[in-house]
């Protein structure tokens, strides 16, 4: 046998070699697996990093979106939707900040309220009213200084916050500039609409931090501007607060007077020209004060209406008047009783709501009651006026147009609406002897009323000359101090009437 030089492996060596081979293969497989896992981990890290970048961008975008939404929400909460300027909440916040940071130094508030804005809404519609508010806003912003805050507090009320040294004088100048600007006519819905405002101005005292009080001072000044004739600027004075306290006390006293029936009906009779007899009477309000005086309506009527007591006062007074007049109407000596209804009462339908029950309770005939309405109450809403007049006619109540010949003097009303009586205004009557124009106008109105079958009453007759001219112009009836002053009782005027009254259907 030939020898190869290599010794055969024994079993132990073979087993060792096999184990080494297995370990080598295992290391190779492990390295391959580790390489694959490393590659997977790397790829996962790359994907995770991309995902993290995407999430970071999305979080940043969402943060910006939320920030913008929050900014818009705050802006909407502080902005008037119609005009785009600051609203009441934003104005009060800025005012409080200005007062606290300045200690009241150099802070002024201008409170601006449009005059007769309701008439624009009533006659031209709310869209026209909104257009007017937008134009007024533009003028206010243009008339203020940079840094002044213009705000719409609500409705037709605006406010300006003015800051800086010498702000009192500057605010007065701003107020006058704004007044002049706002009071120019505005083109609305193709029509030139009169525009105007009243302004109340208040300047903070040193050390003042009360935003509500400063705005209240401006409101008092605004109220004073309105009462003194509108279309003007009024600066707050301490006496205005004293006036407010007196007004509050007066309103309280008036409320008690109305509830206690201290405001009672007085009567001024109406004399028919043809018969020379008293045929009707107008109900007039008088306050029988506990101090023993009797006060005319000029003293209290505006306050009664302003504090919401007019309906209550009218109902109380009319209940007494109808009860007192019912026996005279039943006896035929009183043809009619007339009452004045304010534009606000006529507009909201007070006569239609309350007259049926009042007439029924008093036993007073509906066709012996005349409701006197001014032109102002009619022209504000012709459709509503027509409906209300028709409803009164169905009730049987008659209607007179009061104070005709002044104000609108809208002759088309006599064509479009139906009236039973027309009251010639006393301003024409008082000049009828000395003013040819007044006489011509009065004669024209009386002739027109006669052609339309409307009985005319001239009020405020105080001289024989006036009476003769009016009778010559075919005026149906006369009312005034020449014949009788108002009195508390009806009987002195009608109790002694002996000639039979004219038939009711034509009264």
pLDDT at site 67: 65
- pLDDT value at 127 more than 70: yes
pLDDT of 41 reads 84
Task: Determine the average pLDDT of the residues in 170-184.
Answer: 91
Sheet holding 157-163, edge to edge: 149-154, 157-163, 107-114, 197-203, 233-235
Residues 255 and 223 in one domain: no
pLDDT(154) > 60 = yes
List, as one string, the DSSP characters of 129-185: HHHHHHHHHHHHHHHSPTTPEEEEEETTEEEEEEESTTHHHHHHHHHHHHHHHHTS-
| Position 295 pLDDT exceeds 80 | yes
pLDDT in the model for residue 68: 63
At 165 the pLDDT is 65
Domain-ending residue, one of 236, 256, 285: 236
Supply the mean pLDDT for the chain: 86
pLDDT of 264 reads: 96
Q: Are strands 191-193 and 107-114 parallel, antiparallel or unpaired?
A: unpaired
Span 148-155, mean pLDDT? 94
Residue-level pLDDT at 504: 42
Domain of 458, CATH number, reads 3.20.20.450
Beta-ladder partners of 271: 278, 478
Q: Are residues 283 and 348 in the same domain?
A: yes
Please state the rounded mean pLDDT for residues 23-40.
83
Model pLDDT for residues 313-331, shown as the tens digit of each residue = 999 999 999 999 999 999 9
Q: How far is CA 97 from CA 75, 101, 159, 161, in A?
A: 18, 6, 16, 11
The verdict on 376 and 435 lying in the same domain is yes
Range among 53-62, 212-221, 243-252 with highest mean pLDDT value: 212-221
Range of weakest confidence among 7-16, 81-90, 119-128, 197-206: 7-16
More confident residue, 129 or 502: 129
Residue 73: pLDDT band with limits 50, 70, 90: low
DSSP reduced 3-state for 110: strand
- Is 90 exceeded by the pLDDT of residue 60? no
Q: Mean of the pLDDT values across residues 281-290?
A: 96
Secondary structure class of 373 (helix, strand, coil): strand
Strands 369-374 and 336-340 come out as: parallel
Long-range contacts of 224-230 (CB under 8 A, 24+ apart): 224/200, 225/198, 225/199, 225/200, 226/113, 226/115, 226/198, 230/115, 230/196, 230/198
Q: Are residues 225 and 335 in the same domain?
A: no
Determine the Cα–Cα distance for residues 236 and 239; give it in Å rounded to an integer: 8
Q: Are residues 329 and 219 in the same domain?
A: no
Q: Does the residue 77 lie in any domain?
A: no
- Predicted confidence band of residue 11 (pLDDT cuts 50, 70, 90): confident
Domain hosting residue 93, numbered range: 88-236
pLDDT for 496: 45
Position 387 pLDDT exceeds 90: no
Active-site residue list: 459
Residues 327 and 296 in one domain: yes
Q: What's the domain count of the chain?
A: 2
Concatenated DSSP letters for 280-292?
Answer: EEEEEEEEE-TTS
The predicted model gives 413-426 an average pLDDT of: 80
Task: Please say which residue of 203, 236, 269 terminates a domain.
Answer: 236
Q: What pLDDT is stored for residue 270 in this prediction?
A: 96
Question: How many residues are given for the chain?
Answer: 507
pLDDT digits (tens, 9 = 90+) for 462-501: 999 999 999 999 999 999 999 999 999 999 898 744 344 4
The answer to whether residue 380 scores a pLDDT higher than 80 is no
As a whole-number percent, the residues of the chain with pLDDT over 70 amount to: 90
Span of 52-66, 264-278, 331-345 with lowest mean pLDDT: 52-66
Within-domain flag for 49: no
- Please identify which residue in the block is written with the tokens 């009183």: 334
What whole-number distance in Å separates Cα of residue 370 and Cα of residue 356?
A: 13
286: exposed, middle or buried (Cβ count in 10 Å: 0-12, 13-18, 19+): buried
Q: What pLDDT does 323 receive?
A: 96
Q: Are residues 144 and 178 in the same domain?
A: yes
> Are residues 374 and 313 part of one domain?
yes
Residues 266 and 409 in one domain: yes
Question: Are 325 and 191 in the same domain?
Answer: no
Query: Within 10 A of 441 (CB to CB), how many other CB atoms are there?
Result: 19
Query: Which two structure tokens, joined as six digits, stand for 233?
Result: 């600027």
Domain assignment of residue 108, yes or no = yes
């Amino acid at each position: 046998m030939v020898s190869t030089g290599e010794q055969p492996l024994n079993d132990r060596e073979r087993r060792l070699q096999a184990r080494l081979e297995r370990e080598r293969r295992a290391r190779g497989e492990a390295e391959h697996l580790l390489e694959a896992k490393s590659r997977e981990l790397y790829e996962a890290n790359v994907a995770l990093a991309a995902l993290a970048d995407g999430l970071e961008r999305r979080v940043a975008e969402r943060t910006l979106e939320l920030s913008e939404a929050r900014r818009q929400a705050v802006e909407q909460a502080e902005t008037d939707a119609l005009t785009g300027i600051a609203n009441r909440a934003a104005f009060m916040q800025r005012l409080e900040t200005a007062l606290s940071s300045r200690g009241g130094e150099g802070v002024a508030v201008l409170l601006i309220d449009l005059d007769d804005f309701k008439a624009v809404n009533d006659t031209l519609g709310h869209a026209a009213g909104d257009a007017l508010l937008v134009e007024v806003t533009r003028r206010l912003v243009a008339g203020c200084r940079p840094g002044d805050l213009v705000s719409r507090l609500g409705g037709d009320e605006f406010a300006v916050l003015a800051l800086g040294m010498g702000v009192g004088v500057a605010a007065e100048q701003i107020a006058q500039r704004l007044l002049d600007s706002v009071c120019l006519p505005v083109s609305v819905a193709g029509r030139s609409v009169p525009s105007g405002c009243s302004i109340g101005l208040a300047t903070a005292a040193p050390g003042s931090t009360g935003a509500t009080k400063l705005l209240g001072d401006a409101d008092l000044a605004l109220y004073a501007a309105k009462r003194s004739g509108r279309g003007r600027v009024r600066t707050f004075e301490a006496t205005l607060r004293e006036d407010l306290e007196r007004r509050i006390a007066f309103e309280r006293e008036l409320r008690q007077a109305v509830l206690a029936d201290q405001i009672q009906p007085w009567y001024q009779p109406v004399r028919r020209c043809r018969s020379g007899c008293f045929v009707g009477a107008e109900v007039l309000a008088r306050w029988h004060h506990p101090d023993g005086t009797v006060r005319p309506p000029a003293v209290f009527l505006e306050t009664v209406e302003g504090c919401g007591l007019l309906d209550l006062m009218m109902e109380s007074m009319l209940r007494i008047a109808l009860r007192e007049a019912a026996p005279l109407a039943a006896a035929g000596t009183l043809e009619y009783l007339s009452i004045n209804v304010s534009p606000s009462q006529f507009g909201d339908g007070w006569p239609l709501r309350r007259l049926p029950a009042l007439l029924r309770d008093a036993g007073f005939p509906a066709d012996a009651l005349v409701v006197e309405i001014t032109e102002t109450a009619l022209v504000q809403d012709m459709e509503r006026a027509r409906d209300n007049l028709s409803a009164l006619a169905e009730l049987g109540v008659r209607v007179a147009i009061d104070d005709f010949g002044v104000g609108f003097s809208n002759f088309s009303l006599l064509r479009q609406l139906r009236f039973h009586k027309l009251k010639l205004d006393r301003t024409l009557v008082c000049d009828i002897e000395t003013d040819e124009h007044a006489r011509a106008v009065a004669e024209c109105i009386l002739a027109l009323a006669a052609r339309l079958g409307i009985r005319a009453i001239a009020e405020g007759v105080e001289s024989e000359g006036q009476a003769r001219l009016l009778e010559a112009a075919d005026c149906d009836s006369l009312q005034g101090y020449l014949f009788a002053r108002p009195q508390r009782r009806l009987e002195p005027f009608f109790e002694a009437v002996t000639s039979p009254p004219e038939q009711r259907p034509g009264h």
